[in-house]
A and B are shown apart, each in its own frame.
Chain A
Amino acid sequence: MTPDYVIEVSGLTKKYGTVQAVNNITFHVPAGSVTGFLGRNGAGKSTTIKMLLGMISPTSGSGTMLGARIDVAAESLQARRRVAFVGEDKGLYPYMTVQQLIRFTRSFYRDWQPEVEATLLRRYALPLNRKVRELSKGMRTKLALLLALARRPALLILDEPTEGLDPVSIEDLLQSLSGCTAEGTTVFFSSHQLSEVERIADEILILDRGRLAMSFSMDQLRESYRWVNAGFDKQPPSFEFKIPGVEHSHTNGRQVVALVKGDADRVARHAKDLGAVSVEIAPASLREIFLDTVKDHA
């Protein structure tokens, strides 16, 4: 039976001396979803991913990946049989050829799919006899993706997968990732490319300075998140906007801009009651929410 959530994390924390790289985060990733994990550089995305994969031990908190506890080596090992990871630096063994690396990786997975391997080799036009060190970054990413997808993993984790790729390669990658869920793979990926995340993700997690700043689904974003932009004829009372439904608000001159989840009309009425001379409601994009969230927490 497939669990409801492939990743469940509770109070996960990682400290390096006095620095809290990840600070008490709690989230879950639904099975079959494409979840975008967003945050600025140093927000703690890679640290979280490495904790999930057992490369870093959490300082406190707990987590499971495909039902296996991430801080128990034996369980983490079992989970890694069904998890594929494509790291930020796409660090593959430079001394092996493409063919050797495929053969090497294949030997660890019983459910390797030769037909997926053949299809992706054709689609990505990877030169079998070329050494990894001689491949471009784009080619290395494609090879890493092939190694990840050919075993048809239950969970595919990618750390900044589009970093350094040209637009055509990014398009290829996004298509591959969107197609993964149809094969039963859950995708969890970190990225800075908000437009790409917006295109393929179902769920969004925003991490800021080690804390989980926001968590929502793209459906919620489209249906529930609105900007309420209220204009006043005098200095507006921004603290009056700290009401239920307002995720954040900030004052810009005589305007108050509030990000609202849920009933934006109610917040608009509240603004009018406070004396707003103009009120506009506009849909919120992921980019706007992200920038507003990380700015808000800065």
Chain B
Amino acid sequence: MLWYKAWRETRNRFMICVLTLIWVCTVILVLQSRSRFQSSPPMDYAAYVWNAIYKDYVRNLFVVLVMVLGCGGLRQEQAAGTAGFTLALPVRRSHLVMVRAAVGILEVVISALVPAFIIPVLSRFTGEQYAVSQALQFAILWACCGVLVFGLAQLLSTVIPGVASAWITCFLVTMLYTAIVNVSELDKYPGLDCFKIMSGARLSYFNPSEHAITGPLPWLPLGVIVVLGAGCVVLATRILESRDFS
């Protein structure tokens, strides 16, 4: 039943996340003909989808929404006054955190799959083509990087009370990370930038002329990213296990 509790606690945020992604992707795809030909030079459809969804707006929106999904947990329950009830249950704190993280990560993965379903389906309605395999590969990149952002949000949620404060801190940490990996010295290594990995920009598996993933996915960096995200969750567990809930 802890799964049910975690689901109930995140259900509304998850729905908002999915509906927002569906809405924004739909608007972008419906307006594609107007937007593509207004740009100079006019973009082909794959370039438009990549620029609008995978490289910029929707990717950034996804990251922000994953932060929303990641914030919450026992520290926020303490602020809401329900931590006493939860902690009196015959359940280990680590179990509480792990179940919460598992539900959250599942929600992140489903959210990452939203564009993968929306883009190929809506493309047909607008008279265009977008390969499902392309969309699924981007979904894998998003899901793995989403796990890291989720883990970071979970970790910050264990040290900062209040969902809004934790989210703002997570946002600022992410901005700081982006600034650091984009300084001239580090910019030479785009693989260090999680957000570039999500879009494929300047990375070997992405073909910039076709705006498509043509090479094999970077499984090793993705694995490292997922491990880092899991590490954040484990660290959050350790912190919560030793924390007093007065």
Q: Which residues of A contact B (CB under 8 A)?
A: 16, 46-47, 50, 53-57, 73, 77-78, 80-81, 83-85, 87-89, 91-96, 103-105, 107-109, 144
Contacts and interface: CB of A to CB of B under 8 A. Distances in A.
A55 B82 contact: no
Contact of B89 (A46, A73, A108, A144): A108
A89 B81 contact: yes
Contacts of B83: 55, 91
A91 B91 contact: no
A80 B82 contact: no
B246 A108 contact: no
Interface of A is mostly: loop
Nearest to A21: B246
Contact of B87 (A54, A78, A92, A95): A54
Contacts, number: 73
A73 B84 contact: no
From A57, A95, A103, residue with most partner B Cβ within 10 Å:
A95
B124 interface: no
Interface stretch (B3-11, B17-25, B159-167): B3-11
B1 interface: yes
Contacts of A81: 90
- The range of chain B's interface size is 20 to 34
Given A92-B85, A108-B89, A56 B1 contact: no
A108 B5 contact: no
A213 B81 CA distance: 30
A77 B90 contact: yes
Interface string B83-109: 111011111110000000000000000
Q: Which 3 A-B pairs have the closest CB atoms?
A: A91-B81, A87-B84, A85-B88
A248 to B, nearest CB: 31
A295 to B, nearest CB: 27
B90 A47 contact: no
A69 to B, nearest CB: 16
